[in-house]
Chain A
Amino acid sequence: MKLLTLNFLTCAIKTCKTQPASFPLHPRDAELEIVETDMNLPFLKNILPRLMWDELRTITSELGLPDLPPTPPTRSNLVEGGEKDAVAEEEEQEEVVEEPTQTAKDLHRILLETCIKEGKLVCGACGHEYKVMEGVANFLLPGHLV
């Protein structure tokens, strides 16, 4: 399960939804694996505003991964030589080949290649633990919690 997926998940218990502490879910006893995948630079640039950066930093620090910078990178930080302005891009009809910076490569590695293979995801509000097995998180609740 990719770390970027955690950007979109929360505790499945209804009463937790309104508790800010139910997001993000906190990985525990996680066994990580790297699953390589092609880099999509336009995606990385465009996803920046959707990333819950502080929460992502919490998750990477809890996993013992290298610290992310305190503020998210900008679009230009991701492109070697900075991002060309939109007009120039249009003139060249999207044929501009942009090279990713190390920052972009690192972000790609964290968001899309670092996967939780086994472990648990814990709700910060109620403490409920969701198991991750063979990369699949299980959010099914026992009958009394539904």
Chain B
Amino acid sequence: MLPTPSTSHVCFDRVYEPAEDSYLLLDTISSTSEAAFLQNRFGHVSSTPPLILEVGVGSGVVLAFAAANARTIFGRNDVLTLGTDINSFACRAASQTVSTALREPTSSSSIFLDVANGDLAGSIRPHSVDVFIFNPPYVPAELPDFSRHENFNTLPAGQEKTTFDQDSYLLELSYAGGADGMVVTNRMLEQIPNLLDLKRGVAYVLLCAQNKPEEVKRHITGWGPGWGVETVGTSGRQAGWEKLQIVRIWKEGA
């Protein structure tokens, strides 16, 4: 069992707290079968280091886990990790989570780049990502009112604390996914073919039962010849409304 990175410094009033979905991602990418898949793709010692991008890092627990356990998961110590989040408080918290995890004595000495504040992967150079990870806001709930974003994304002028409304808004960003919980995920899925490395790119996206995962998978298969999609991790089998799964999306024959 690989260690879970510490997030004790993170204020969960305004940054998503690691939960079942986060842990499912950790378990999935480090599972024997996925680690074998990833090592087969990226494990050759002197190939170029893969860039791992997580969008919506929140506390940073998933990115930190990938960075600190790079040797076990990817078969190499020199992977690059990069994150984005729409919430500037999450960006700072996640940076600290990854840096702290990498200082642990048992940690892989992989390379953490930065966490940028942005909308999805809008600022990432096309086809530069080898491993993409996304735990989206997947709950079917009304999207927050983005007109407040600029004000709510920083501390109120002259204040040292966020307001209650601000915290509620920032947390809504982390879970509310609009109709079917798929509005944000659909925008992200659209970017994936352009984002992934043409030869070896692979994406892990978390979906809940409400997202109609089978429809989502059919849609991805329709991207064209060569695109593969497969469920590689599941949890919440007790048929609760939040049954979760991780789908792996990749280009075949790479």
> Which of A5, A11, A43 touches B49 (beta carbons < 8 Å)?
A43
A42 pairs with B77, CB closer than 8 A: yes
Are B114 and A112 touching (Cβ within 8 A)? Answer: no
Q: Are A137 and B153 in contact (CB under 8 A)?
A: no
Please count the residue pairs between chain A and chain B whose beta carbons lie under 8 angstroms apart in the complex: 105
Docked CA distance A46–B70 (Å) = 15
* Distance, CA A146 to CA B113, complexed state (A): 26
Q: B139 an interface residue at 8 Å Cβ cutoff?
A: no
Query: CB distance A134 to B92 under 8 Å?
Result: yes
CA distance A112 to B102 in the complex (A): 15
- The answer to whether B41 has its CB under 8 Å from any CB of chain A is no
Q: Select the residue from B51, B114, B118, B124 with max chain A CB neighbours within 10 A.
A: B114
Residues of chain B within 8 A of A137, CB atoms compared:
114, 116-118, 123
Docked-complex contact B78 and A139, CB < 8 angstroms: no
Residue A144 interfacial (CB < 8 Å): no
Chain B residues whose CB sits within 8 angstroms of the CB of A45 once the complex forms: 46
A46 vs B111: C-alpha distance in the bound complex, in angstroms?
12
Of residues B91, B95, B109, B122, which shows the largest number of chain A Cβ atoms within 10 Å of its Cβ? B122
B interface residues, tally (CB under 8 Å): 38
Interface range on chain A (Cβ under 8 Å from partner): 35 or more
Provide the bound-state CA to CA distance between A85 and B92, in Å: 42
- Contact B123–A12 (Cβ < 8 Å): yes
Which B positions have Cβ atoms within 8 angstroms of A?
A: 45-49, 51, 77-78, 80, 82, 84, 86, 88, 91-92, 95, 109-111, 113-119, 122-126, 128, 146-147, 149-150, 153, 194
Question: Can you list 26 A-B pairs with a CB-CB distance of less than 8 A?
Answer: A4-B80, A4-B111, A5-B82, A5-B114, A7-B125, A8-B113, A8-B125, A9-B123, A10-B125, A38-B109, A43-B78, A43-B111, A45-B46, A47-B48, A47-B49, A47-B80, A136-B91, A136-B95, A136-B115, A136-B116, A137-B114, A138-B116, A140-B149, A141-B122, A142-B150, A143-B146
